[in-house]
A and B are shown apart, each in its own frame.
Chain A
Amino acid sequence: MTQQLYAWLDQRLDLSALQHFIAEKSVPVHKHRVWYYMGGITLFLVGVQVFTGILLLLYYRPSADEAFESVKFIVSQVEFGWLIRNIHSWSANLLIFMAFVHLFSTLFLRSYRKPRELTWVTGVLLLFVMMGFGFSGYLLPWNELAFFATKVGTGIAGAVPVVGDFTMRFLRGGDDVTGATLTRFYGLHVAILPAITTGILGVHLLLIQRQGMSVPPSVEKQEKSGATIPQMPFFPHYVLHDLMWWYVALGVLAALALFLPWEIGKKADAFAVVPPGIRPEWYFLAMFQVLKLLPAHIMGVEGEMLGVLGFGLAAMVLLFLPFLDRGAAEGRSSRLVTIGGVIALAYMLVFTIYGYLAA
Chain B
Amino acid sequence: MPSHGRPTEPDAIKRRTFLDMVLGVGFVSTALSFVYPLWRYLIPPAAAEPATNSVVAGKATAFKANSGTIVKFGSKPAIVVRTPDGEFRAFSAVCTHLDCTVQFKAETSQIWCACHNGLYDLGGSNISGPPPRPLERFTVNLRGEPGQEDVVVTRA
Direct contact of A and B (CB under 8 A): yes
Instruction: Report whether B50 and A58 are in contact in the complex, using a CB–CB cutoff of 8 Å.
Output: no
Instruction: Report whether A84 and B41 are in contact in the complex, using a CB–CB cutoff of 8 Å.
Output: yes
Interface residues of A in 63-99 (CB under 8 A from B): 65-66, 69-70, 72-73, 77-81, 83-84
**A341 vs B42: C-alpha distance in the bound complex, in angstroms?**
45
Within the complex, which residue of A55, A77, A250 is in contact with B38, where a contact is CB–CB below 8 Å?
Answer: A55
Within the complex, which residue of A65, A78, A80 is in contact with B52, where a contact is CB–CB below 8 Å?
Answer: A65
Which residues of chain B are near A250, meaning CB under 8 Å? 30
Which residues of chain B are near A55, meaning CB under 8 Å? 38, 41-42
| Chain B residues within 8 Å of A, Cβ to Cβ | 30, 37-38, 40-43, 45-47, 49-50, 52-53
Instruction: Report whether A66 and B40 are in contact in the complex, using a CB–CB cutoff of 8 Å.
Output: no
What is the interface residue range for chain A against chain B?
10 to 19
Which residues of chain B are near A84, meaning CB under 8 Å? 37, 41
Within the complex, which residue of A69, A79, A80, A247 is in contact with B50, where a contact is CB–CB below 8 Å?
Answer: A69
**A144 vs B66: C-alpha distance in the bound complex, in angstroms?**
44
A-B contact pairs, 8 of them (CB 8 A): A55-B42, A65-B52, A73-B49, A77-B50, A79-B37, A79-B40, A79-B45, A80-B37
Given A66-B52, A79-B41, A80-B41, 19 new contacts (CB under 8 A)? A55-B38, A55-B42, A66-B50, A69-B50, A69-B52, A73-B49, A77-B45, A77-B46, A77-B50, A78-B41, A78-B45, A79-B37, A79-B40, A80-B37, A80-B40, A81-B41, A84-B41, A247-B30, A250-B30
Nearest CB in chain B: distance from A75 CB, A: 11
4 closest A-B pairs by CB: A80-B37, A73-B50, A79-B40, A69-B50
Nearest CB in chain B: distance from A196 CB, A: 27
Chain A interface mostly: helix
Instruction: Report whether B47 and A77 are in contact in the complex, using a CB–CB cutoff of 8 Å.
Output: yes
| Most A C-beta atoms less than 10 A away, residue of B37, B40, B42, B43 | B37
Instruction: Report whether A58 and B52 are in contact in the complex, using a CB–CB cutoff of 8 Å.
Output: no
**A79 vs B38: C-alpha distance in the bound complex, in angstroms?**
9
Nearest CB in chain B: distance from A54 CB, A: 11
Nearest CB in chain A: distance from B105 CB, A: 33
**A78 vs B47: C-alpha distance in the bound complex, in angstroms?**
9
| Most A C-beta atoms less than 10 A away, residue of B41, B45, B47, B49 | B41
Instruction: Report whether B45 and A58 are in contact in the complex, using a CB–CB cutoff of 8 Å.
Output: no
**A194 vs B133: C-alpha distance in the bound complex, in angstroms?**
51
Instruction: Report whether B43 and A79 are in contact in the complex, using a CB–CB cutoff of 8 Å.
Output: yes
**A73 vs B45: C-alpha distance in the bound complex, in angstroms?**
10
> Quick one: CB contact mask for A45-70 with B, threshold 8 Å, 1 for yes?
00000000001001001000110011
Which residues of chain A are near B41, meaning CB under 8 Å? 55, 78-81, 83-84
Residue of B nearest to A55 (CB): B41
Nearest CB in chain A: distance from B36 CB, A: 8
**A261 vs B47: C-alpha distance in the bound complex, in angstroms?**
24
**A137 vs B71: C-alpha distance in the bound complex, in angstroms?**
35
Residue of B nearest to A81 (CB): B41
Which residues of chain A are near B53, meaning CB under 8 Å? 65
**A55 vs B35: C-alpha distance in the bound complex, in angstroms?**
13
Nearest CB in chain B: distance from A258 CB, A: 13
**A69 vs B52: C-alpha distance in the bound complex, in angstroms?**
7
Nearest CB in chain A: distance from B44 CB, A: 8
